[in-house]
Amino acid sequence: MKIILDVDCGVDDSLALLYMLKKPEVEILGVTSVFGNVSAQKSADNVCRILDLADAPKDIPIVCGAESPLEGQWDGPVAIIHGDNGLGNARLPVSSRTVLDMPVEDFLYETTARYPEEVTVLTLGRLTNVANTIEKHPDFKKNIKNIVMMGGTLSAPGNVTPVAEANFEGDPLACDKVFCSGIDISVVGLDVTMQTRLKKSYIESLWEYCRDQDKAIAEYLCAAFGYYFEGNHIQDGCIDDCPLHDPLAAIAVVKPELFQFQLLKARIECNGDYCRGMIVADKRNHTFEAEYIKFAIAVDAEAALRELLSIF
Ligand code: BDR
Ligand code: CA
C-alpha cells in the first residue's frame, strides 16, 4: 500500500503515524503537514520528531503545507486537547531531519503521478492541501487512487459545533472542493470514531508488554495521551477513555473490512450561522447534483482497537 499522510500533527495524528510506520504492508511515500491542531510548520516539526522516535527511514519526505484555510483565518492551536506543542506537551528531542523546500501541491502531484492510481492519501486534518493540489494540478484527480479522510459526522453530534467536526469545519470550502472532485473518497467521521474508545489503561500498560525497542514509544504515548485524556475529559466528559479519531482512519486504510460504508451523494455547507462545515448528504431517491462519497457508518470497534494495539 503506497500512502501519503497529510497531518496537523497533534496527539492522535502522531499515533496514526506510528501505527502506519509499524505496518509492514504500508509504504509511506511522504508526510505533508497542514494547520489545525498546531501550525503547519509545527506539525512538520512534530512529524520529524515522531519519525525519529519510531526510527523511521531518514529518506521519508516531509513537506510543509497550508497555514490557513481557503477563506478566512485559522483559529489558532488547540492547546487544550493537544498541548502547547501539539504532542500533549510530551518532550521529544529536536530532529535533524529536513523538511523539503517545495510547494506541497507539487509534492502531492508529483508523487501520485509517479505511481498512477496506486497512491492513497490519508488526510487527518483540514483538506486545504488536497484542495489546492486539485486546483493547481488538474491531473492529480486522475493519478491518485483514493483519499481516506478523518473528518465530519453524518448522525453523531459535532465536536466543534452542534453539527460539525473540527477538520471539516476548519476549512469547509476545501472539503467541499475535494468532495466535488470525483476522487474516490472514504470518510471516517465521528459516527465511528466516537464509538471506538481508547482506554487509558491500554496506553498505561503498553510499557509493560511492548518490545524493548518500543519502550520509548510507549513512554511518549503515556505522556502525550495523559494530557489528551484530560483535554477530552473537559470537552466530552469521558473519564477513562477517549474517542479514537485519526488512528481509526489509518486503520480504515489497512483494514477496510472492519467498517461498513454507505454511499451517499454529499456536499459540505460552507456558510451559515449554525451549519458551517456540516455534511449535507442526500438520502432521497432523486438526489441533488453531487458526487458519491463512502461514509463509514459502523465499525467493529473491538477489532479496530486490537488491530491498533497489535503493533506493539
Ligand atoms: C480531528 O480534529 C483534530 O483535533 C484531531 O487530530 C482529529 O483529526 C477530530 O475531530
Ligand atoms: Ca488530526
- Distance (angstroms) between ligand 2 centre and the Cα of 286 equals 35
Percent of the chain with pLDDT over 90: 96
Output the residue whose Cα is nearest ligand 1's atom 4: 37
Average pLDDT for 220-228: 96
- 231 confidence band (pLDDT: 50, 70, 90): confident
Q: Give per-residue pLDDT as tens, 79-126.
A: 999 999 999 999 999 999 999 999 999 999 999 999 999 999 999 999
Q: What's this model's pTM, rounded to 2 decimal places?
A: 0.98
pLDDT of residue 124: 98
Euclidean distance between CA atoms 154 and 56, whole angstroms: 36
Ordered alpha helix ranges (H), the chain: 11-22, 40-53, 79-82, 104-114, 128-136, 140-143, 166-169, 172-179, 190-193, 200-209, 215-236, 246-254, 301-309
Mean pLDDT, all residues of the chain: 97
Residue 287 confidence (pLDDT) above 80: yes
Percent of the chain with pLDDT over 70: 100
Which protein residues have their CB within 5 A of the ion that is ligand 2?
8, 13, 124-125, 246
Q: Is 43 in the pocket of ligand 1 (CB under 6 A)?
A: no
Q: Is 165 in the pocket of ligand 1 (CB under 6 A)?
A: yes
Contact indicator for 44, 88 with CB cutoff of 8 Å:
no
Q: Which three cell numbers stand for residue 238?
A: 469521558
Residue 74 confidence (pLDDT) above 80: yes
Q: Give per-residue pLDDT as tens, 178-197.
A: 999 999 999 999 999 999 99
Place of cell 497529510: 6
> If DSSP codes are grouped into helix, strand and coil, which group holds residue 238?
coil
